[in-house]
């Protein structure tokens, strides 16, 4: 199946790259052009938890992720469509991406039955019967109207039996072809998803097959599902040589700042993860000097900001004040630290991008790795 032209309003260009390694580029969408590498905040239910869209834009975010499974269950794709699509519904001025629902079927739904036809399960909200096929996922995502849609894939947790991993990979390839056949919206890009667990040969088969299909970009899925950081890095290294160089590459559901650095080093362009806001709600702040535990007693009289030089709203306040907000149960604390974490992730992506453009990625990445993966002072 030959690849056709990118969808209306889309384009991807690599501006600088290390062969087989990091690259900086630009991704054009109907809602604006974004620089890569980029991190996408997760707005599962058309909302990044605790963060309004104005402040979200101020963090430096360029693309926001929503979820097919969740938005189908509530409020329903017809409600979002009537509002003008996902971006208009949430009041977001930038680009959006919808995940297909495959991971949520794996992680949230009850009584799941997966066959080659599709998935049948019970809603985690009210127990109602739900069926999701590749065609259903495409219909829902086209109604949601995000700039980028994802194919439906069969996700397995790790470790898993080799036979189940291969079954999921081959089923995902079959579903990829069905998604392409069902997807007809000309102003919405469609990405395929590489599966194959930790098996390098299965990953190669998946990546090479998808590269031969007319997807607008490819994602690496099925990682950060229990395999551990080292196994993830090894699998990513084995997968990337088989990913096409002319399309954006997306590592799904990852991760920690150190994982983002490793992903960019491997040639990944796009990331998403709930970690910045989830940790923000639980009083963990990410900094370029490591993680800061905002409830810690040693911060009681600490009048420094979370991080010097950070432009986020949280860093207009002291660590002492932010600690007080968490201990007092004030909702402002989680909001502010979530904003800080999202800003930090965007700043990290920008630093890595600039390092690629000026040919200094290896030195910059080495310095960041030494500082970023421990506890901050």
Q: pLDDT tens digits for 103-145?
A: 887 776 668 899 999 999 888 889 899 899 999 999 999 999 9
Q: Rounded to whole angstroms, how far apart are CA atoms 166 and 156? A: 10
Alpha helices in 183-318 (DSSP H): 200-211, 229-239, 257-266, 275-281
Q: Give how many domains the chain has, as a whole number.
A: 2
Provide mean pLDDT across the span 150-164. 94
- pLDDT surpassing 90 at residue 268: yes
Residue 255 shares a structural domain with residue 361: no
- For residues 18 and 356, is the Cβ–Cβ distance under 8 A? yes
Residue 303 shares a structural domain with residue 179: no
Residue 231 shares a structural domain with residue 346: no
Q: Rounded to whole angstroms, how far apart are CA atoms 269 and 175? A: 24
Residue 204 shares a structural domain with residue 348: no
- Give catalytic residues, as residue numbers: 99, 272
Q: Of 251, 273, 295, at which residue does a domain stop?
A: 273
Residue 176 shares a structural domain with residue 310: no
Decide if 238 is inside a domain: yes
Residue 297 shares a structural domain with residue 324: yes
Alpha helices in 185-228 (DSSP H): 200-211
Which contacts qualify for 326-333: CB closer than 8 Å, 24 or more apart?
326/283, 326/294, 326/295, 327/295, 331/50, 333/283, 333/294
pLDDT of residue 2: 43
pLDDT of residue 106: 77
Residue 254 shares a structural domain with residue 289: no
Q: Of 273, 308, 330, at which residue does a domain stop?
A: 273
Residue 87 shares a structural domain with residue 215: yes
Decide if 11 is inside a domain: no
Give the CA distances from residue 81 to residues 31, 71, 88, 188, 306, in Å, rounded to whole numbers and listed in that order: 16, 11, 9, 14, 40
Q: For position 43, which CATH number holds?
A: 3.20.20.105
Decide if 300 is inside a domain: yes
Provide mean pLDDT across the span 184-208. 98
Residue 214 shares a structural domain with residue 349: no
Which residue range forms the structural domain that includes residue 307? 283-372
Give the CA distances from residue 278 to residues 105, 207, 371, in Å, rounded to whole numbers and listed in that order: 21, 31, 22
Residue 52 shares a structural domain with residue 89: yes
3-class DSSP state of 111: strand
Closest CA to 369 of 219, 269, 229, 222: 229
Q: Of 219, 242, 273, at which residue does a domain stop?
A: 273
Residue 364 shares a structural domain with residue 267: no
Residue 39 shares a structural domain with residue 187: yes
Average pLDDT, the chain: 95
């Amino acid at each position: 199946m030959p690849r056709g032209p990118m969808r209306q309003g889309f384009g991807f260009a690599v501006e600088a790259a290390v062969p087989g390694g990091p690259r900086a580029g630009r991704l054009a969408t109907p809602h604006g052009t974004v620089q890569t590498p980029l991190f996408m905040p997760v707005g599962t239910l058309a909302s990044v938890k605790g963060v309004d869209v104005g402040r979200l834009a101020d963090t430096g975010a360029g693309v926001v992720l929503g979820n097919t499974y969740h938005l189908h269950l509530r409020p329903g794709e017809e409600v979002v469509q009537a509002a003008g699509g996902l971006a208009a519904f949430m009041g977001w001025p930038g680009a959006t991406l919808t995940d297909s629902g495959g991971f949520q079927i794996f992680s949230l739904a009850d009584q799941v039955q997966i066959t080659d036809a599709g998935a049948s399960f019970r809603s985690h909200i009210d127990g109602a019967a739900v069926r999701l096929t590749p065609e259903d996922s495409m219909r829902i995502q086209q109604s949601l109207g995000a700039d980028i849609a994802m194919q439906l894939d069969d996700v397995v947790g790790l470790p898993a039996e080799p036979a189940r991993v291969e079954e999921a990979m081959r089923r995902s390839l079959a579903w990829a072809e069905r998604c392409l056949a069902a997807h007809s919206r000309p102003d919405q890009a469609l990405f395929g998803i590489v599966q194959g667990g930790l098996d390098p040969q299965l990953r190669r088969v998946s990546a090479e097959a998808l590269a031969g299909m007319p997807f607008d970009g490819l994602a690496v899925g099925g990682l950060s599902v229990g395999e551990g950081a080292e196994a993830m890095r090894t699998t990513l290294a084995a997968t990337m040589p088989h990913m096409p160089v002319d399309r954006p590459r997306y590592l799904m559901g990852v991760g920690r700042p150190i994982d983002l650095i490793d992903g960019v080093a491997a040639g990944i362009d796009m990331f998403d993860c709930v970690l910045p806001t989830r940790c923000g709600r639980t009083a963990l702040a990410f900094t370029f000097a490591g993680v800061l535990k905002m409830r810690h007693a040693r911060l009681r009289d600490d009048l420094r900001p979370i991080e010097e030089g950070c432009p986020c709203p949280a860093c207009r306040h002291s660590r002492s004040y932010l600690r007080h907000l968490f201990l007092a149960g004030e909702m402002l604390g989680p909001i502010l630290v979530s904003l800080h974490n999202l800003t930090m992730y965007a700043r990290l992506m920008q630093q890595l991008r600039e390092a690629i453009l000026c040919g200094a990625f290896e030195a910059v990445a080495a310095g960041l790795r030494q500082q970023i993966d421990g506890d901050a002072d």
